[in-house]
Amino acid sequence: MGKEKLSFKEVHHSHNPKTTLWWFFFVATCIKVLLFPSYRSTDFEVHRNWLALTHSLPLSQWYFDETSPWTLDYPPFFAYFERFLSVFAHLIDPQMVHLQDGLNYSSNKVVYFQRVTAILSDLSLLYGVYRLTRNLNSRKQKLIWSLIVWSPMLFVVDHVHFQYNGFLIGILLISLSYLEEGRDLLGGFVFAVLLCFKHLFAVAAPVYFVYLLRHYCWGGILRGFSRILIMGGVVIAVFASAFGPFFHLGQLQQVIRRLFPFGRGLCHAYWAPNFWVFYIMSDKGLALVLRKLGFNIQVPVASFTAGLVGDSSPFSVLPQITPFVTFLTVLLALSPCLLKAWKNPQPQMISRWVAYAYTCGFLFGWHVHEKASLHFVIPLAFVAAQTLEDARHYFLLSIVSCYSIFPLLFEAQEYPIKVLLLLLHSILMWSGFSAQFCDEDETASRPSTNSKKKADEVGSECNPGATVKKGFVIGWSERIYLIGLVVVEIWGQILHPLLLGDKFAFAPLMLISIYCAFGITYSWIWQLISIVRSL
Amino acid sequence: MGKEKKVRDSASDDCWWWLVQNGTSAVFITIGLFALLVRVAVSLHPYSGAGNPPKFGDYEAQRHWMEITTNLPVKEWYRNSSSNDLSYWGLDYPPLTAYQSFIHGLFLKFFHPESVALFTSRGHESYLGKLFMRWTVLSSDALIFFPAVLYFIVVHYNQPSRSHKSELAWHIAALLLSPCLILIDHGHFQFNCISLGFTIGAVAGILSGKDLVGSVLYCLALNHKQMSAYFAPAFFSHLLGKCLRRKYPIFEVLKLGLLVIGTFAAVWWPYLYSTQSILEVLSRLAPFERGIFEDYVANFWCASSVLIKWKRLFTTESLKLISFTATVITCLPSMIQQIKSPSNRGFLYAMLNSAFSFYLFSFQVHEKSILLPLLPATMLAVEEPFVFKWFTQFAMLSMFPLICRDNLVVAYLALLALFVLMLSAPVQHRARKSNYFDTYLGSATMFLILCCYFVLHIVYLTMHPPKKYPFLFEAIIMNLCFSQFVLVTLACNIKQWLLNKPAKSEEIEKKLI
């Protein structure tokens, strides 16, 4: 980030925000390129297999093929996207897209090709960020860009572990930017497209539905009805173009079965830090206490720590959780936000609401992946630049959620990379926020930028003009929590292997999930309160 | 640092105020973390000689030294014996390198004993072995090079005239993100960060007036890699010049001389018990039998060998003499200038010039030695932004064939891009002022050279040379780099001599007042 310095001069001379955004992107790209030889998860082979599958099979067999265990389980647009990429893949190395010969193919060519596609597809993220921030002042812009374009989570998940989250979240941001501008129809259209790329984004669909209904379709029976028809038509057209061919072939049921594999169990092998972690732990705790008290408690056949979840209940005391229960919980958690959106559908609140929806989905959803925290951490970066309170919340949340994806990179080689990325992100956030919110007494004389409310906050927080050291300060409880994070990491990396050896090998991971679950739950409550309190 | 915090950057309303506003330490930590990240990422790439038996490359050499030093007594490290075959990557650096190998060897022995086991570990390659070896370089870099840079920056920007914080951050970035150093140390695999770190520390010591600290640190650098002698003329002449201007010149010179001898004695202690053992070590340090140049290096002998076949025309003995004379003659001007009027800026220029005359004219130069002249050029980056940029680019090009052999092209391109991005907005008001090249060469010529630069990369990567001249592309690359290096050193020699002028006029003004 030394280079920012340099770039600031450039900006100073050219005053072109686009150049600066490109500069951010290219610096990130250099790091991504340097990460080419790093560890790749099975997701890499998953996507390679999808390239091969879409390239060598006719459409009718895409959702039936089982040559590789990594069957296609994303909606059709993503399959079309892979089909598009496979054209270039075929030009570069035909073996890459061969269904059988390509299995676990890992030459430099395939690695470089797939890594490059991940980098290039990030352009959609870049465009989304640009659209969402283009009306902000230059300080806020740079702050948000550094939070998103240099997001450590995206580096880890997309460019080491390997996925296309940047691309998909970029589409979400584009949709949000249309909504913020009041172009609801386009916003809804882009969101429908996003759902056809990855259906997990559907958690925010209720928010979109209520918001669009109230903001776009409301007002008079005739106008409302025609607008419902227009919006419905657009959404149906998008879904038809995605699923139409499969409907025509009569494969819709198979596609749906692939998209929603409910047999997978409540939690992923590594527990995402969500509400169900508490549920499982309290079940274990209750079972222990009751057994002590003399009750006869059966040890469940299926166990969470073994990663195997069959049909039998994995709980010994508490009732079993079914997908339907999680669905209801998510809806219940969402309801205050939906109510707000119904009462007062404001465009400037939409990012907050959508992020909240994804938080609910993450916290209460069925078989949630730890990576899903990206869905709300990235949109919340826009919210973070608004007030000091938001910034404080974001500071904690982004550190916690970035830490919670550490177990994705479990090999020693990548250890310094994930730690350095997180440290760098934290210090950049810290400098950015302290400059944004505590240095404003200088700019306060120029009344253009801040609202009165903000100026008050700045005044109370930073004692303008006083000798007190300026800086972005977080509260004591947050500080202790973050220090605890360091303790958890030291325990898992050094003390646990030293003291306990191979016994309870799952314990450090469990500890990370539980500890991070506290942070995410705090963030959820914080978001809920801020939404309920808002006008 | 406290001082700087108070100084308000003139450009405080620009958009990058936030990194600078938290003071030097925050800036340094941020850039330092980023530089570490880049280094770790580069270390994922292959090292020299990976999977290439029987001799492998520098990685195997360093690993072998760790194996030797941890398994044999100190006295046998430089001695050919049944357990220490000097013809297989025998130790050929001074004792400090051997001690460093010993410490790192202990680290490896503790965590991964098979990678440094005597005999059986020869050609050892494994995931963990590579990882721990990489971490030895990373830790040396973080423990020696980074603090040295911080020391230099603190000293360099403590002078009241330098208050531009953005410049300070830019300078830290230039020093810590030097692409050549990162590629050689963390890609190719060497420990240049240690000797260069000591050198930076020595420079900082001398700039802050602590000549004794400076000379001790420089002796350590010299004892880690004998190549650090490239800077010897500059250190010698600058310190001599300074001593001569003090009250008791002879006493000052004696003090420094004794300190230098003392430091050397301390480092060489285990070998001081007999003349023979000293000679044993010394003979390892000067590998004259390897010829005047190896491979392709952008210096005078290699570049001119296209026309004059030095190796055929002269014996090794006479070549030694010729190259020595040429080196001394070319670094004399800058030495004389420093003895006549030693100054902080002049010292940095003298370092650049003497390192260049060694690189261009001395015996047995590696392409990696370009790191030595590059270091003072980086320290001068704020004064000479254009020279710095131009020089770094061509230093990268001059190592390109080596990098290709090591399969580090991806890292090379990414680092080069990162470097250009870093410079994409240099400190512009200065760049305009001191753009020597522009006036000498003209912008059209420079544009042409840059085109050649890019075309050469592409050609080297994609085309096969004609069978008759298998090293045609290397020769072209080296001649282009050589010509640019000569231009850089000429410009810097002139610049160094011009330093006297304003100083004199100031003195005259003072006298008049």
**Are A272 and A370 within 8 A, CB to CB?**
yes
Q: What is the spatial distance between Cα A427 and Cα B19, in angstroms, rounded to a whole number?
A: 9
Decide: B456 and B473 in contact? Cβ < 8 Å. Answer: yes
| SS3 state of residue A70 | coil
Ranges of chain B with pLDDT below 50? 1-15, 426-434, 509, 511-513
Helices B146-156 and B165-176: crossing angle in degrees, nearest 10, is 150
CA distance A137 to chain B (A): 10
Q: Give the count of alpha carbons within 13 A of B314, CB side only.
A: 15
Which residues neighbour B234 within 8 Å (Cβ) at sequence distance 6 or greater?
B334, B335, B338, B347, B350, B351, B353, B354, B355
- List the single residue in B with minimal CA-CA distance to A25: B421
CA distances from A404 to A34, A156, A163, A370, A413 (A): 24, 11, 17, 7, 18
The residue range of the domain holding B468 is 2-512
The 3-class secondary structure across A177-204, one letter per residue, is HHHHHCCHHHHHHHHHHHHHHCHHHHHH
- Contacts of residue A143 in chain B, CB cutoff 8 Å? 18
What's the Cα-to-Cα distance from A18 to each of A141, A148, A319, B245, rounded to whole Å? 11, 15, 54, 56
DSSP class per residue in B419-439: HHHHHSS--HHHHHHT-HHHH
Asked if B34's CB is within 8 angstroms of A8's CB, the reply is no
Cβ–Cβ below 8 Å for B176 and A37: no
**Cβ–Cβ of A427/B21 closer than 8 Å?**
no
Listed in sequence order, the residues at least 6 apart from A215 whose beta carbon sits closer than 8 Å to its beta carbon are: A184, A345, A347
CB neighbourhood size of A473 (10 A): 19
Contact between B20 and A3 using a beta-carbon 8 Å cutoff: no
CB-CB contact of A161 with A32 (8 Å)? no
Select from A10, A26, A32, A34 the residue whose CB has the most chain B CBs within 10 Å, as the one to mutate to test that interface: A34
Question: How far apart are alpha carbons A67 and A510 in whole angstroms?
Answer: 34
Do residues B360 and B299 make contact, with C-beta atoms less than 8 angstroms apart?
yes
Q: Is A8 on the interface with B (CB under 8 A)?
A: yes
Instruction: Check residue A459 and give its pLDDT.
Output: 38
The single residue listed with the structure tokens 């002078």 is B159
Q: Which chain A residues contact residue B419 at CB under 8 A?
A: none
Structure tokens belonging to residue B440: 């000498």
How many angstroms away from the CA of A384 is the closest CA of chain B? 16
DSSP letter assigned to residue B464:
P
Please report the DSSP string for A466-492 in residue order.
SSSPP-----HHHHHHHHHHHHHHHII
Residue carrying structure tokens 């370009």: B370
Number of domains in chain B: 1
How far is B503 from chain A, CA to nearest CA, in Å?
Answer: 31
Chain B residues lying within 8 Å of A10, measured CB to CB? 424-425
Cα dihedral value B263, B264, B269, B274, nearest 10: -150
- Angle value at C-alpha A310, between A306 and A314, nearest 5 degrees: 65
SS3 B342: coil
Amino acid identity, residue B512?
A: L
- Distance, in Å, from the CA atom of B62 to the CA atom of A30, rounded to the nearest integer, reads 29
Strand-pair partners of B81: B84
Q: Which residue has the tokens 């091969």?
A: A52
The upper half-sphere exposure of residue A404, i.e. CA atoms within 13 Å in the direction of its Cβ, equals: 29
Chain mean position to CA B377:
10
Q: Which residue has the tokens 């009569």?
A: A250
Domain count for chain A: 1
Instruction: State which residues form the domain around A58.
Output: 2-248
A8: chain B residues, CB-CB within 8 Å:
11, 14-17, 166, 425
C-alpha to C-alpha distance for A84 and A89, rounded to whole angstroms: 9
Partners of A303 in the β-ladder: A308
* Closest CA relative to residue B64, chosen from B48, B88, B83: B88
Q: Give chain A's radius of gyration (CA, Å).
A: 24
Distance from CA of A520 to the nearest CA of B (A): 27
Residues of chain A with pLDDT under 50: 1-14, 306-311, 441-469
Query: Residue B497 is encoded by which pair of tokens?
Result: 């001599």
Measured CA to CA in angstroms, residue B142 lies from A244, B39, B195 at distances of: 58, 10, 13
- Per-residue confidence (pLDDT) for residue B231, from 0 to 100: 96
The rounded Cα A474 to chain-centroid distance in angstroms is: 24
Map B315-358 to HEC letters.
CHHHHHHHHHHHHHHHHHHHHHHHHHCCCHHHHHHHHHHHHHHH
Here the tokens at position A162 are: 């390997």
CA gap B196, B355 in Å, rounded: 13
Tell me the chain A residues in contact with residue B42 when contact means C-beta distances shorter than 8 Å: 34
Element (H, E) at A445: none
CA of A258 to nearest chain B CA: how many angstroms apart?
Answer: 37
Distance (Å, whole) CA A314 – CA A180: 44
Contact B499, B353 (CB under 8 A): no
pLDDT digits (tens, 9 = 90+) for A387-416: 888 999 999 999 999 999 999 999 999 999
Q: How far apart are CA A394 and CA B286, in angstroms?
A: 59
Per DSSP, what are the bridge partners of residue A368? A267
Residue of B6, B25, B33 best to disrupt the A interface, most CBs of A under 10 A:
B33
- The dihedral through the CA atoms of B274, B278, B284, B289 has a sign that is negative
Read off the tokens for A88: 């270039």
Q: Name the amino acid, one letter, at A294.
A: G
**ipTM score of the complex?**
0.90
Task: Give a yes or no: residue A299 inside a domain.
Answer: no
Distance from CA of A425 to the nearest CA of B (A): 9
A196 with A238: CB under 8 angstroms? yes
Going by C-beta distance under 8 Å and a sequence separation of 6 or more, which residues neighbour residue A166? Answer: A118, A121, A122, A124, A125, A154, A158
Q: Do the domain assignments include residue A524? A: no
Angle CA(A369)–CA(A374)–CA(A379) in degrees, nearest 5? 145
Residue of A nearest to B138 (CA): A416
Residue with token string 């630049």: A385
Whether A432 and B18 lie within 8 Å, measured CB to CB: yes
Check if A83 contacts B (Cβ < 8 Å): no
- Cβ <8 Å between B21 and A435: yes
Distance between CA A35 and CA A154 in Å, rounded? 13
Structure tokens at A232: 């419905």
A471: left (phi over 0), alpha (psi -120 to 50) or beta: left
Token pair belonging to A255: 């596609």
Q: How many residues does chain B have?
A: 513
Q: Which residues in A lie closer than 8 A to residue B418 (C-beta atoms)?
A: 3, 27, 30
Contact flag A412-B131 (C-beta cutoff 8 Å): yes
Q: What is the pLDDT of residue B422?
A: 84
The tokens describing B39, both together, are 């280094």
Nearest to A390 by CA among A523, A207, A532: A523
Residues 6+ apart with CB under 8 A from A336: A528, A531, A532
CB neighbours of A259 closer than 8 A, spacing ≥ 6? Answer: A73, A74, A75, A199
Which candidate, A258, A227, A252, places its Cα nearest to that of A240?
A: A252
Calpha distance A230→A238 (Å, rounded): 12
Task: Tell me how many degrees the CA angle B335-B501-B155 measures, rounded to the nearest 5.
Answer: 65
C-alpha to C-alpha distance for B154 and A531, rounded to whole angstroms: 48
B414:A34 CB<8 A: yes
Rounded Cα–Cα distance for residues B32 and A2 (Å): 8
Per-residue pLDDT at B325: 94
Amino acid at B167: E
Within a 10 A sphere around the Cβ of B429, how many other Cβ atoms? Answer: 10
Residue with tokens 């948000």: A144
